[in-house]
Amino acid sequence: MLINQSIKELSLLLKKKEISSVDLIKESYSKIEKLDNKLHSFITIRDKNEALKEAEVKDKERKEDSSIIYGLPFSIKDAYCTENFRTTAGNKILDDFIPPYSAAVYKKIIDSGSILIGKNNMDAWGHGGSTENTDYHPACNPWDLERIPGGSSGGSAIAISTRMVPFSIGEDTGGSIRSPSSMCNTSGLKVTYGRVSRLGAIAYASSLDSVGPMAKSVEDLSYLLEIMAGKDSLDSTSSKTKVDRYSQFLGAPIKGKTIGLPKEFFGKGLDPQIKKVLIDATKFFEKLGAKIQEVSLPHFIYGVSIYYLIALSETSSNLGRYDSFRFGGERELFSEETKKRILLGTYALSAGYADKLYKKAQKLRTILIQEYEEALKKCDVILAPVNPSLPSKIGELINDPLKNLMEDLYTGTISLVGAPSLSVPAGFAEGLPVGMQIVGKKFGETELFQLGYLYQQETDWHKRLPPILNI
């Protein structure tokens, strides 16, 4: 299974001509044809012959100094505009939308020589944490087909977990990369807000949305972020902060680093099995010379409320453009979940309630940012759960609105702060993957990669494959 190897290994084999891009494309489509009718990872799959022709060209034109992802297959969440290739954002309103331009991140990956395989399934507009709230087919977790894969970037995580592709590009608003990475046993990065251009990303909540890589390992993520990150003159929210050569810092010792455990994250609401996995993970970091210290984030308890007031207010504004005149089909095609979010967001912004709800949420957001900054003065990074519970059975979350919202308990708060967060596999409970997130200072992705990489050198959780691959 070629795609089980790392990006670095695949790149080396391609340059030595021991394998070809054609081989990788054939393997990718073979996996999709065998598995995706059970998993529903993709909404739109590119024509196989077209991809193979591109692979043949890549094999002929490959050079010694070609990009590390040159000739590798990849997928992308269907939240990104792709020129002349359908983009739906997981909903039927855009069922026949063919964008006239490409998202900045997609263009960077394509310009680096990677080959698109298809667009991944997602909760419509990013509204959900299970990839059930899609207007296409609900996606299934490859570790247990009766359970959710997480969301909203669930399709991308499935494709990586089952080695349909070596990497994918996701989007994280309140946990949409981290949650499916945790539930499907893959690695994913929510970048610092502004680290990667959002140009061409279909907006959910503009002050929270962030573009990020998803892959098999932390090492792979580091190479991808080197390509994706940087200032974009067409995106005023993208940062001029220097882009590190992240991969060059992998393996650097972490002796003397302090890892903070927020006491509020490990209390009521967290599944004891997940708590045990995370506590066990701290022992590996202690073995590597890190110090574990308790920290406090007192306003964490308000995180979900703040997140949803702001996110839904912004989505009610962003979705106003889909009026069937400028974009898309009839508004009746909005799902019930999306209609609910529009109504709640509009209410929070309406006259007489904006001060009481939206503006107060923004003030509390500032307090949360200050608390994170204070906590990170006492430690280098924060270690936290990704999800409060194991992957739910399909149907449970969408039929329990409160539980659905609480899936963002640990991830949404970090999105409000704009900090980077790395999700890595940390173990299993009841045969299901459990991830942890390592949260850092703004633009501190290098440090997150250092810790995540060394952890993956000490463990093999990220190398374990779902049972569906044995079918």
Q: What is the set of active-site residues? A: 77, 152, 176
Cα separation, 281 vs 383, whole angstroms: 9
257-278 CB burial, b ≥16 within 10 A, e <16 = bebbbbebbbeeebbeebbebb
Cα gap 64→59, rounded to integer Å: 12
Q: Which amino acid is at 19?
A: I
Q: For the chain, how far is it from start to end, CA to CA, in angstroms? A: 14
Q: 116, 83, 118: which is closest to 97 by C-alpha?
A: 83
- Give CA–CA dist 254/142, Å, rounded: 34
Residue 234 neighbours by CB distance under 10 Å? 10
Among 90, 9, 84, which Cα is nearest to 47's?
A: 84
CB 158 within 8 A of CB 142: yes
Residues across the chain: 471
**DSSP letter, residue 85:** B
Place of tokens 């967060």: 421
